Structure 1
Amino acid sequence: MIGVIGIIISLFLLMYLAYRGWSVILIAPVLACLAASFAIFDGGSFHMLATYTEKFMPALAGYIKAYFPMFLLGAVFGKVMDVSGSANAIAEFITTKIGKGKEIWAVVLSCAVITYGGVSLFVAAFAIYPIGAALFREADIPKRILPPAIALGAFTFTMTAIPGTPQIQNAIPMTFFGTDAFAAPILGIVAALIMLFGGMFWLTHVEKKAKAAGEGYGDHKNENLQIMDPQYLPSFVTSITPIIVVIVANFAFSKWILPSFDSSYLETDYDTSFKAVSGTWSLILALILGVALVILFNYKRFDKGVVECLKDGVQGSFLAVMNTASEVGYGNVIKTLAGFSLVAAGMLSISDNPLIGEAISSSVLAGITGSASGGLSIALATFSEQFIARASELGISPEVLHRVASVACGGLDTLPHNGAVITLLNVTGMTHKECYGNIGMCTVVIPAISCVAIIILGSMGIV
C-alpha cells in the first residue's frame, strides 16, 4: 500500500530533520500532512487544513491538557533546584563521599538522585557535567565516557523504572490504567537494578580497556567549565530534603491522604473517576511542596529573585511540553491513516501476550518520534484498550501494564536523533562518533534487556 510508503517517508524526514536541529513544533504538522497526502494514491481523500485543525491540533491540545501541570511543576522544580545550587550541592556531596577511583559511580548516582527527585534530565546534564568533567580530568578517565555516564544516571532507570519517580514517562500510564507512580514496585526495582548495574559494568569495562590502551582524559581546548565554589552551596541536608519530601508526599497522597476524601463528585460533576486522576493529583501536590521547600530553604540564594527564577522555569516548560505535544499530534494523524492499520496489526500480531505488544509499540513509536513520552502517549492512546482487555483475560494487573509501558518507552527513544542525546553532546562538547556507541549501550540495549526481564516476570504474576 502506497500509504505505508508515505508514512515511512514522513517518519524518516521527522527523524532526520529533528537530528539536524529543526523544531519539531514546526515540522511535525507539515510531515503529518505529508503522510496523510499519500491517501490520494490509494483512492482516498486529503484535506490539509482539516488534517491540521481537526486531527493534529485536538491531539496536541489533549496532551497539554492532561500533562502540562507535570511539565510545568517539573520544570519549575528543576529550575529552583538548579539556581539555588541544591543540585550542585547534592552532586558535590556524593562525589566527595564516594571518593577517588569511583568517579563514574559518582556521576551516575548524582544524576540518579536529582532526577529521581523530579529534576529534569536536561537540568541534570547541565548541573552534573562541570563536576563530572573535573573528576574525570583529575582521574585521567577518557572524557568520551562522561556523556554515557550522565545518560545512564539521568535517562534510564530514574526516568522509567524506579517506583515513585515523578518523571513524565512514569506519569503518562497512570491516566490510561488508573494506576499511581508506584505501580508494580518489584518489577520496577528489578528493571532499575538491571539498568544500573548493567550500565556500570559496561562503562567500567570501557574505562579499564581505555586505560590499558594508554588513553587518558584527552585534550579538550574549548572547555569552559564553571563550577560553583562548594563553600557557597547550600548544605546537603537542605538540598536533599525537598527531593525526599516529593517522593514521600507523592506516596502518601496517592496511597493514604487523597483516598480518604469523598470523591463521588468526580463522577457526577466532572464525568471522571478518582482512580483516573489520583496519580496525577498526588504528583502535582508533591511537586508543589518540593518547590515551596526549595524556595523556603534558599530564599536568599536567588540572585535575580524568586519571581524571575519561577518565570524562567515556566518558560522552560512551554518548549518541553509543546515539543512532545507536537509529536503526539503527529502520531494522532499517522494512526488515523489506512497504512498505519497495517503497521499496527503487524506490531500487535507478534504475540498474544499484551505485555509484548505493549513493549514493542511503546518502544518503536518512541524511537520513531525520538521521544519516550511522545511515543508512549501515542502507543497508549492507540492501543491501551486492547492491552487492558487482553491483560484482563490473562489475569495480568494494570500495574504490570503500567511498568512495562514505562520501561519500554525508555529504550529506542534515545536513538541518535533524540533531543536529549543531542543536547547532552552539545553540553559536554562531544560528538556522536566519540560517544554514541556507549550511550546506546547504556540507554538502548541494556534497558531493552531489562524490559524483557520484567515482561517475563510480569507474565508470571509478579507485580
Structure 2
Amino acid sequence: MGLAGILLGLGLIVFLSYRGWSVLLLAPVGALIAALLSGQPLLASWTQIFMVSAASFIGQFFPLFLLGALFGKLMEASGSVGAIAEFMTRKLGAERAILAVVLAGALVTYGGVSLFVALFVLAPMAEALFRAADTPRRLMAPAIALGTFTFTMMALPGTPAIQNAIPMPFFGTTPFAAPGLGILASAIMLAFGLWWLGRAEAAARLRGEGFTNETVPAGERLADPGLRERAVITLEFDPVEIGRGHPSSGRPTILLAALPLLLVIVVNLSMSFLVIPRLDFGFLAEDQWGGVSVSAVSGVWSVAMALIVAIVATVAINWRRLPFLRDTLDSGASASVLPIFSVASLVGFGAVVAALPAFGLVRDWVLSIGGGPLVSLAVATNILAALTGSASGGLTIALDALGGTYLARAQELGIDPALLHRVAVMSAGTLDSLPHSGAVVTLLSVCGVTARESYRDIVMVAIVGALLALLVVLLLGSLVGSF
C-alpha cells in the first residue's frame, strides 16, 4: 500500500496540475494521500516534514528567486531586453531570423533575465523577424526554446538559472562546476538545434510554406485560466506581473543594455573564484549561523551578489527610463513569490515521500541502475522532472531524497562533485519539456501556435539535443572525470 500511495499522490499532482490546478493545493494533498496509505501520521507528516522541507528550500533559494525576478522586470521595463533583441535582429537580418532569435534568447537568459520575461519580450521580436523572412510561424517556438530552455539554463558554466544553483548546497559546488564539460554540452545542443531548425526551414521553403496568418489572436495568447498555475512551477516569474509597471518608451544603447548582463557573469565569476575563497568564513560553523561550511552557501552568495550588482547597474543606467521605479520593483518582487512557493510545495511532497518506509524500494531500485552514481542520478532526475514538468522541482526532489547518498557514493569512487552537479542540472533540463510543462505551455501561448504545429520541433531542440549532450557528458565524465 505504501508504494501505491506514492504513485497515487504523484499521479494526482501530475494529472490535475496539467489541468491548471494549483500545486500549492495539490502537493500537500498528494503528500497526505501517500502518508495515509503508508500508515503515517497525517498532521505530523504535513507540519513536521512537508512544511519543514518546503521552508528550508525557501530559506535557501528565495534570494535568487527574488533577485532574478527583480532583475528581469527591470531589464524588461527599461527596454534593455528589447534593445538587445533589436540589435541582434539588425546585425543578423531577416534572412537569419532563426539564428537571431536563438542568440538573442541565449544572451539575455545567460545574463540573468528570468525565462518568462525573456519569452514575453522575444516572442514579438521573433514574430516580426519571421514575418519579414517569410519563415513559418511554427518554428518561432522551437527557436526561442533552443535559446532559452537548453544550454543557457543547464550547461553553460556560471549560468545564474535557479536550476544551476540548486545542486550547490548539496554538493558544495559553484555555478561554474565542470566548465569544460558544460561548454562542450552547450556546443552540442546549439549545433544540433540550429542544424535541425535549418533543416526544417529548408524543407518548409521547398514545400512553399511561409509565415502564414496568426492561428491564435494575440490578445488571447495568455488568456488560458490554467496557464498561470502551470507556468509558475517552471518559470520563476508569475505571469500576472508581466503587465504591471510602466515599460519605457525609449531604449538604451546596446552597450548600456548589455552591461548589466556582463556584470552578472563577471561578478559571479569573481565571487566564486577570487573573493569568497580569500575571505575567512569560519564563523559559519557556529550554531548561530547554521553550522555549515562556506561551500554550502558560496554558490548562492555568488549568484545573489552578481544579481544585486546588476540590479543596481540597471537602475543607475536607466534612471530616466524608469519613472515608475517603485511599481516596477513591486511587480518584480511579487512575481517571485508564487513560483518559489509552488516549487517549495513540490519539494515538501518529495520530502514526505522520502520519509515513507516504502520509499526504500524506490531508492534501492534507483541506486541499482547500472552505470554507477552518474547514470543513476541522471535517470532519477529525468524521471522526476518529466513527471512534475519542472526542472527545478524534479531536481530538488531528487537531491533532497538522494543527494547525500549520491555524494557519498561519488566520493567512494573518486568522482568529482562538480561532475555530479553538471549531470544533475543537465538531467533536469531534458524531459522537463514534455507537453504538460508550464514552460512549454507558456511558450506556445506567447507565440500564438498550437502544440500540434510546433511541439515536434520543440522536442528535437529541447529534448533530443539535450539528451545527446547529456550522453556525451556521461560518457566523458565516466572515462576522464570532470574538467
**TM-score, L = length of structure 1:** 0.94
Query: Is 1:461 the counterpart of 2:481 in the alignment?
Result: yes
Q: Could you tell me whether the CA contact under 8 Å between 2:260 and 2:311 is conserved in 1?
A: yes
In the TM superposition, 1:360-375 aligns within 5 A as 360-375=379-394
SS at match of 1:181: coil
Query: Is 1:51 the counterpart of 2:71 in the alignment?
Result: no
Q: How far off is 1:217 after superposition?
A: 1.2
Residue 271 of structure 2 aligns with an amino acid whose one-letter code is: F
In the TM superposition, 1:271-286 aligns within 5 A as 271-286=291-306
Q: Could you tell me whether the CA contact under 8 Å between 1:195 and 1:450 is conserved in 2?
A: yes
Q: Which runs of 4+ in 1 moved over 3 A?
A: 228-231
How far apart are the structure 1 equivalents of 2:7 and 2:466? 26
SS at match of 1:102: helix
How far apart are the structure 2 equivalents of 1:412 and 1:336? 26
SS at match of 2:95: coil
Query: Is 1:135 the counterpart of 2:153 in the alignment?
Result: no
Q: Could you tell me whether the CA contact under 8 Å between 1:92 and 1:230 is conserved in 2?
A: no
How far apart are the structure 2 equivalents of 1:8 and 1:218? 44
Query: Is 1:223 the counterpart of 2:218 in the alignment?
Result: yes
RMSD over aligned Cα atoms: 1.8
How far apart are the structure 2 equivalents of 1:49 and 1:229? 46
Query: Is 1:316 the counterpart of 2:335 in the alignment?
Result: yes
Equivalent residue number for residue 325 of structure 1: 344
In the TM superposition, 1:47-446 aligns within 5 A as 47-220=41-214, 222-223=217-218, 232-268=250-286, 269-270=288-289, 271-303=291-323, 305-446=324-465
Q: Could you tell me whether the CA contact under 8 Å between 1:359 and 1:408 is conserved in 2?
A: yes
How many aligned residue pairs are there? 454
Q: How far off is 1:151 after superposition?
A: 1.0
Q: How far off is 1:443 after superposition?
A: 1.4
With 260-269 and 149-158 compared, the bigger mean Cα shift is at: 260-269
With 414-423 and 163-172 compared, the bigger mean Cα shift is at: 414-423
Q: Could you tell me whether the CA contact under 8 Å between 1:161 and 1:192 is conserved in 2?
A: yes
Residue 187 of structure 2 aligns with an amino acid whose one-letter code is: L
Residue 223 of structure 1 aligns with an amino acid whose one-letter code is: A
How far apart are the structure 1 equivalents of 2:36 and 2:103? 48
How far apart are the structure 2 equivalents of 1:95 and 1:17? 40
How far apart are the structure 2 equivalents of 1:220 and 1:98? 24
SS at match of 2:449: coil
- Per-residue Cα deviation, 1:262-317 (whole angstroms, up to 9, x for no partner): 211111352111121111111111100000000000011124x1111111000000
How far apart are the structure 1 equivalents of 2:293 and 2:109? 30
Residue 423 of structure 1 aligns with an amino acid whose one-letter code is: T
How far apart are the structure 1 equivalents of 2:19 and 2:482? 43
Equivalent residue number for residue 42 of structure 1: none
Q: How far off is 1:320 after superposition?
A: 1.3
How far apart are the structure 2 equivalents of 1:383 and 1:94? 43
SS at match of 1:416: coil
With 150-159 and 422-431 compared, the bigger mean Cα shift is at: 422-431
Residue 463 of structure 2 aligns with an amino acid whose one-letter code is: V
Equivalent residue number for residue 17 of structure 1: 16
How far apart are the structure 1 equivalents of 2:262 and 2:186? 19
Change (3 A) 1:365 1:138: same
- Per-residue Cα deviation, 1:215-271 (whole angstroms, up to 9, x for no partner): 21122162359xx99993111000100110110011101111122222111113521
How far apart are the structure 1 equivalents of 2:9 and 2:90? 49
Change (3 A) 1:66 1:29: same
> What is the percent sequence identity of the aligned residues?
47
Q: Could you tell me whether the CA contact under 8 Å between 2:159 and 2:175 is conserved in 1?
A: yes
Change (3 A) 1:321 1:122: same
Residue 440 of structure 1 aligns with an amino acid whose one-letter code is: V
- Per-residue Cα deviation, 1:102-159 (whole angstroms, up to 9, x for no partner): 1111111111000001111111100100000011111111111111111111111101
Q: Could you tell me whether the CA contact under 8 Å between 1:367 and 1:414 is conserved in 2?
A: yes
Q: Could you tell me whether the CA contact under 8 Å between 1:136 and 1:146 is conserved in 2?
A: yes
Q: Could you tell me whether the CA contact under 8 Å between 2:158 and 2:176 is conserved in 1?
A: yes
Q: How far off is 1:333 after superposition?
A: 1.6
Change (3 A) 1:281 1:229: closer
With 338-347 and 398-407 compared, the bigger mean Cα shift is at: 338-347
**TM-score, L = length of structure 2:** 0.91
Residue 88 of structure 2 aligns with an amino acid whose one-letter code is: I
Q: Could you tell me whether the CA contact under 8 Å between 1:59 and 1:328 is conserved in 2?
A: yes
Q: How far off is 1:92 after superposition?
A: 0.7
